[in-house]
Amino acid sequence: MFTAMKNAALKGIVLGCLVLVSGCRQDMHDQPRFEPLEANSFFSDHRSARPLIKGVVARGDLQEDVHLYKGQENGAAATNFPFPVTKDVLLRGQERFNIYCSPCHGQIGNGEGMIVQRGLKQPPSFHIDRLREASVGYFFTVITSGFGVMFDYADRVSPEDRWAIIAYIRALQLSQHATLDDVPAEERQKLAGAH
């Protein structure tokens, strides 16, 4: 009798396994879809990717503003910002600069960041005459496309943030070469009163 019960239990286990296995389907793993450029017999041109209908207008990300998205004005590097530089823009630029730029360029833009301290090639200081005189469009192009050993940041930093970083670089440049005449009159009075 023990053997009969053992056989019945074994049959029950096998039957249960068969029921479970029959419920497993590969539909979720093997979904019908077309790979890019795969042939398709449904359409007469045998293409799975359908061509756009004539007159279709892209929505959302046309990037028609060449000044904002390419850093150019009239085919040359832009000489001014595509939007007003406010305190909020500078603060955003400072935040993004500290994240993306300071590891190489240093907190004040002198080219002595942590990466350089660990033995990698030093980038030029933002405070040399060549970069102080460079247009803002030049900086935009370098951030977007990279330059020398610096890789591009186009996929990491949005165009608006690139402009904010450039505004902050200009503020750093001014901070290292400012004179008393650059300080607003009311702030100069505060400075005079502090002495």
In a domain, 169, yes or no: yes
In a domain, 54, yes or no: no
- Predicted TM-score (pTM) of the model is 0.68
Which of 12-21, 52-61, 104-113, 165-174 shows the lowest mean pLDDT across its residues?
12-21
* Domain boundaries, position 123: 78-178
DSSP symbols for 76-107: EE-SS-SS---HHHHHHHHHHIIIIIHHHH-T
Q: What is the CATH number of the domain that holds 114?
A: 1.10.760.10
In a domain, 58, yes or no: no
In a domain, 158, yes or no: yes
Band (pLDDT 50/70/90 cuts) for residue 26 is: low
In the chain, how many domains are there? 1
